[in-house]
């Protein structure tokens, strides 16, 4: 009989943890080991874990003194990579739950279809006082993936790779697939997106994956989730996940037009979510400009801007970039050390939106900034382009006069020396 290993990390989860634990203890399949870790909580989480561990020997309790300092309990951290290849593993967040037949049904589904990973559907419930169903992630009928079907059906199952929960993994799919994010050469996102990256790597190591057309997992939506709190590493995570998806499809040859457009849509939605969290955060305008600069200086974003598309995708992209530009234009002042970043973002957005007047304005601001810094070479280069475009523009003529005066002074200074 195969052993099932389950893991939950809990941080200040005293209001929801009992529900999660009970959903495991009430499973109709009983041969499991439950790794339950208090992640440095300051509420009653640790006492709840201690109480359940004393009552049920299948629970292995772990206690850390600091949140996310996983090195305090290495056995719990490394458990997925140390279980036997033919044993099973799943994860449950401390505020979610599995239906009682999750393990039993998923094992039967996996054994019947010789699967390495089994994926079930999820019901999404609000955490409001009157808990209600607000969404569902599920396939209409069972879907089995192997060989080129991983590429052919990529658009249909990609959303299930966004999370590590709602899945039963055979042990071997976890070994050597998850990189330590602390290593310099790691491509695993830190702070946000690690679950998606790890799930994708596990899928990549599996020969057969099955999606079960039944919701056996319950996800409680909470705006207190770390997904809704600004993290400066989030922008980089979006880029790493997009790159990982491209790498995931690489073994199947040239990416199809359908998957290329799909991934562009996924990346656009990631940027929209990231910017939504950013703009609703208490971060300063300085931090927000830095984040936007990181977004728009990325090649993936530039490729997204020039990607040929139409219909709803085009409208969504245009609406998103228009919203960003409105925020940029709403700034009454920008720190001197961010002028170039501000202008670069503005130039890209106005060019994409065919807003010529705005594009010209950002170029003038940048030239003025370069002249203030006595950057004669770059200012001359920028002015050369603008003079060709606007030979009689008064602002350009004034900026040209400023440049000429700086060049004269620079030559005088050289002669005097």
pLDDT digit string (tens) for 92-137?
999 999 999 999 999 999 999 999 999 999 999 987 655 788 899 9
User: Could you say which DSSP state residue 33 is in?
Assistant: E
User: For residue 13, is it within any domain?
Assistant: yes
| Residues of the chain above pLDDT 70, percent | 93
Q: Could you list the residue range(s) of the whole structural domain that residue 49 is in?
A: 4-228
Same domain, 174 and 35: yes
User: For residue 265, is it within any domain?
Assistant: yes
Same domain, 132 and 81: yes
Same domain, 338 and 411: yes
| pLDDT score of 176 | 62
User: Could you say which DSSP state residue 1 is in?
Assistant: -
User: For residue 239, is it within any domain?
Assistant: no
Same domain, 210 and 70: yes
Same domain, 223 and 262: no
Query: What band does 223 get if pLDDT is binned at 50, 70 and 90?
Result: low
Same domain, 412 and 310: yes
Residue 63 host element (H or E): strand 59-64
User: For residue 246, is it within any domain?
Assistant: no
- For range 139-145, the mean pLDDT: 97
* Residue at a domain's end among 228, 249, 268: 228
Main-chain dihedrals φ then ψ at residue 88, nearest 5 degrees: -125, 155
User: For residue 235, is it within any domain?
Assistant: no
Task: Write the pLDDT tens digit of every residue in 265-302.
Answer: 999 999 999 999 999 999 999 999 999 999 999 999 99
User: For residue 177, is it within any domain?
Assistant: yes
pTM: 0.88
Query: What band does 35 get if pLDDT is binned at 50, 70 and 90?
Result: very high
Same domain, 208 and 68: yes
| pLDDT score of 177 | 63
* Residue at a domain's end among 181, 208, 228: 228
Please say whether the beta carbons of 99 and 191 come within 8 A. no
Same domain, 127 and 262: no
Same domain, 171 and 212: yes
* Nearest alpha carbon to residue 109 among 123, 98, 119, 100: 119
Same domain, 64 and 213: yes
CA–CA gap between residue 131 and residue 348 (Å, rounded): 44
Please say whether the beta carbons of 273 and 266 come within 8 A. no
Contacts of 148 (CB under 8 A, 6+ apart): 252
Q: Is 114 left (phi over 0), alpha (psi -120 to 50) or beta?
A: left
Domain total of the chain: 2
User: For residue 11, is it within any domain?
Assistant: yes
User: For residue 277, is it within any domain?
Assistant: yes
CA–CA gap between residue 210 and residue 99 (Å, rounded): 19
Q: Which residues of 104-115 are buried (b: 16+ CB within 10 A; e: fewer)?
A: ebbbebbeeeeb
What CATH number corresponds to the domain at position 178?
3.90.550.10
CA–CA gap between residue 197 and residue 162 (Å, rounded): 8
The token pair that represents 257 in the structure block: 């037009």
Task: Write the pLDDT tens digit of every residue in 57-102.
Answer: 999 999 999 887 778 898 998 899 899 999 999 999 999 999 999 9
Is the pLDDT score of 407 beyond 90? no
| pLDDT score of 297 | 97
Query: What band does 409 get if pLDDT is binned at 50, 70 and 90?
Result: confident
DSSP 290-350: HHHHHHHTSHHHHHHHH----HHHHHHHHHHHHHHHHHHHH-S---GGGHHHHHHHHHHHH
CA–CA gap between residue 276 and residue 319 (Å, rounded): 13
Same domain, 328 and 372: yes
* Residue at a domain's end among 228, 249, 267: 228
Is the pLDDT score of 183 beyond 80? no
Residue 364 CB coordination number (10 Å) = 20
Same domain, 330 and 193: no
Is the pLDDT score of 225 beyond 60? no
Give the distance, in angstroms, between the CA of residue 311 and the centroid of all CA atoms in the same chain. 25
Q: Which residues of 298-322 are buried (b: 16+ CB within 10 A; e: fewer)?
A: bebbeebeebebeeeeeeebeebbe
CA–CA gap between residue 145 and residue 206 (Å, rounded): 10
Please say whether the beta carbons of 193 and 244 come within 8 A. no
């Amino acid at each position: 009989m195969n052993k099932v290993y389950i893991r939950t990390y809990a941080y200040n989860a005293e209001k929801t943890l009992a529900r999660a634990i009970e959903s495991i203890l009430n499973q109709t399949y009983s041969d499991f080991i439950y790794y339950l870790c208090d992640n440095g909580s300051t509420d009653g989480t640790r006492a709840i874990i201690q109480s359940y561990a004393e009552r049920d020997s299948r629970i292995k309790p772990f206690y850390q003194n600091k949140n996310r300092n996983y090195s305090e309990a290495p056995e719990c951290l490394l458990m997925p990579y140390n279980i036997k290849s033919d044993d099973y593993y799943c994860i449950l967040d401390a505020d979610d739950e599995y239906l009682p037949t999750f393990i039993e049904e998923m094992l039967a589904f996996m054994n019947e279809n010789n699967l390495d990973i089994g994926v079930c559907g999820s019901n999404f419930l609000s955490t409001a006082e009157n808990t209600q169903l607000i969404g569902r992630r599920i396939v209409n009928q069972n879907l089995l993936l192997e060989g080129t079907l991983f590429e052919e059906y990529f658009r249909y199952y990609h959303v299930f790779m966004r999370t590590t929960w709602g899945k039963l993994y055979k042990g071997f799919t976890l070994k050597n697939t998850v990189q330590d994010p602390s290593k310099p050469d790691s491509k695993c996102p830190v702070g946000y997106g690690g679950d998606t990256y790890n799930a994708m790597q596990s899928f990549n190591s599996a020969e057969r994956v099955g999606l079960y057309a039944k919701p056996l997992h319950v996800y409680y939506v909470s705006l207190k989730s770390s997904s809704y709190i600004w993290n400066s590493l989030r922008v980089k995570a979006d880029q790493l996940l997009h790159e990982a998806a491209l790498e995931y499809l690489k073994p199947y040859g040239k990416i199809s037009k359908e998957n290329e457009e799909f991934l562009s849509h996924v990346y656009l939605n990631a940027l929209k979510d990231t910017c939504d969290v950013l703009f609703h955060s208490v971060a300063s305008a300085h931090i927000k400009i830095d984040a936007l600069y990181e977004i728009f200086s990325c090649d993936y974003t530039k490729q997204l801007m020039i990607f040929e598309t139409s219909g709803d995708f085009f409208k969504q992209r245009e609406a998103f970039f228009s919203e960003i530009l409105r925020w940029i234009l709403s700034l009454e002042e920008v720190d001197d050390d961010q002028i170039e970043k501000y202008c670069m973002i503005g130039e890209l957005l106005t060019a994409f939106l065919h807003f010529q007047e705005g594009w010209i304005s950002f170029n003038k601001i940048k030239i003025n900034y370069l002249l203030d810094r006595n950057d004669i070479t770059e200012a001359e280069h920028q002015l050369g382009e603008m003079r060709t475009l606007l030979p009689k523009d008064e602002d350009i003529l004034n900026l040209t006069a400023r440049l000429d005066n700086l060049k004269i002074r620079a030559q005088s200074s050289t002669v005097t020396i």
